[in-house]
Structure 1
């Protein structure tokens, strides 16, 4: 993640061309919003801010707009969405790529062009992709690592004059997962609560951050294997009171135990957390949490649990037993 782009934009240091691409739309959108709000005044946006969808409009039409002098103010912003010609896909619109290459080599001094490419990767073999990546200010916004997310949290609170301790950061990640939009909403809420100069502590996190269904399932498993049956059943009954369907709870239990089993198997073969995350197509932080739970079971126990969950799924769907009772019995067996 390139924090330098944000630092430069905040100092009103603008480049003529930006390329924002990757699979983390939240960061791309945050960068775009910051750029638009810093580069042009609110009253100028109607005149000096244009958006073109390159799946509908040829790029040369957008370039004509970019080469037009600003009506009022110092500069204009031209946003180009969906530049499929930077990928291996062809798209349905014919674009004058030579004209775009000429523009990139000599951009208008009064215009900022922003390419928004929500694609996991670009076609690096193409001349236009190479040229754009060389000449533009580039933000590659793919899924952040746990370390990057923690750094991002620290930056966000620090820029608002708030302090957050390390344990609070870990707890926020456990409760909300690694979804940046959700993390932002919760962090902004806590910053508002503690106020400028305040500190986000574990107590603040516990009192303000709601548990996701996945987090409740994770804690339910933790309490169960720690033989804390009372607490495990309390979480289960809370889920039912919140109108969570037993079949959905069962499905999430099966998903979590499947991850725990796979993590145990891959770890035994010497795979690291990043490698396991790649194989399972989940965030490395989720692998880290599952690795902790994997230590509480043998492989045989986990295989037996997966069989039990499969049988419960059949019994629930065939109506052979009461759904709630099936889950209660499973939790009780697991706690023993």
Structure 2
């Protein structure tokens, strides 16, 4: 749905009213920017772009602006932020809103204005008459966190918008390396599309070469090497992180967080929770749960508890100055190697 709306905006086919809501700020911000870039020219923006916080300003004032003819241009673009009256939240607005006037405007919007309601609320109150009316009339974008399938579709669509094709293994690798943050994913795909401007195709090798690794993703790779008992590879990644001036205490913190997540996912799965339920319970992205669930299968309960104990000990020594911070993570990795060797004897 989001790409349909974006394509219409780029084609200069504007709805008179937009309703943007949800907890994924990238989708809302990108839609706003597309509207600014396409509804108005740079010169028109000085005269015909308005923004109102509906907790500070009444809807009457905003609608008067929407009903005012544009100055030196064809259209007005008006953003209305924090429409609490569309949600079940208790309003903290300093102004009373004349919703009857808003209802009348929704039924007959000004042909020369584009009015955009923007809310960070996860849900709107569909029991309210004004919410029902707005959802029925406006172009609606629900900016929700994307699941794994939607993230893959996002990568494909973003590549297509850039005029390139992307191989499925490259989609998988980009998601693993860049994570689920849409700001980061978009930057990486746009960068790859520019790199692939001649071939018009992004393959796995190109993604491996070009996609930037965040600290978390580098440490995910490090943990993945640890999980598979590839300690030499883990050490190589660790030394690369040190060359990038990453602090050992930060690296240890992220490693500990990943192993704690593996333990939590394993325990919740044992209790019968599905991956979506686990994601909701832990308040993390489902894709992270999927990756942790795969890693959890490679550890027994006692082994995981032992690793978490080793990490806790390393953390204590790092914070109390018991040993060189750089060496503490090396020692942790060597202890894991010894543990794996004893297990295989």
TM-score by length of 1: 0.94
- Alpha-carbon offset, residue 197 of structure 1: 4.6
Of 141, 152, 168, the match for 2:170: 168
For structure 1, the 5+ residue unaligned runs are: none
Contact 2:162–2:190 (CA under 8 A) maintained in structure 1: no
Displacement of 1:196 after TM fit? 5.2
Alignment of 1:289-300 (within 5 A): 289-300=291-302
Distance in 2 separating the partners of 1:111 and 1:229: 61
Aligned pairs (5 A) from 1:139-218: 139-195=141-197, 197-218=199-220
Contact 1:160 1:196 in 2 (8 A): no
Query: Aligned with 1:271: secondary structure?
Result: coil
Stretch of structure 1 that moved more, 323-332 or 122-131: 122-131
**Corresponding residue of 1:60:** 60
Check the 8 A contact 2:54/2:93 in 1, yes or no: no
CA shift, 1:23, in A, is: 0.9
124-133 vs 204-213, which moves further: 124-133
* Stretch of structure 1 that moved more, 240-249 or 171-180: 240-249
Equivalent residue number for residue 47 of structure 1: 47
By relative contact order (CA 8 Å, sep 6+), the higher-ranking structure is 1
**Is 1:89 matched up with 2:87?**
no
Please name the residue that 1:219 is paired with.
221
Normalising by structure 2, we get a TM-score of 0.91
Deviation at 1:39, TM superposition (A): 2.8
Q: CA deviation at 1:35?
A: 2.6
- 1:35 paired residue number: 35
Ranges in structure 2 where 5+ consecutive residues have no aligned partner: 341-345
Residue 138 of structure 1 aligns to a residue in which SS? strand
Q: How far apart in 2 are the matches of 1:6 and 1:103?
A: 24
Partner of 1:69 in structure 2? 69
Whether 1:25 and 2:25 are equivalent positions in the alignment is: yes
Give 1:295 shift: 1.3
CA distance in 2 between partners of 1:92 and 1:274 (Å): 36
Name the stretch that deviates more: 59-68 or 200-209: 200-209
- Residues paired across the two proteins, number: 336
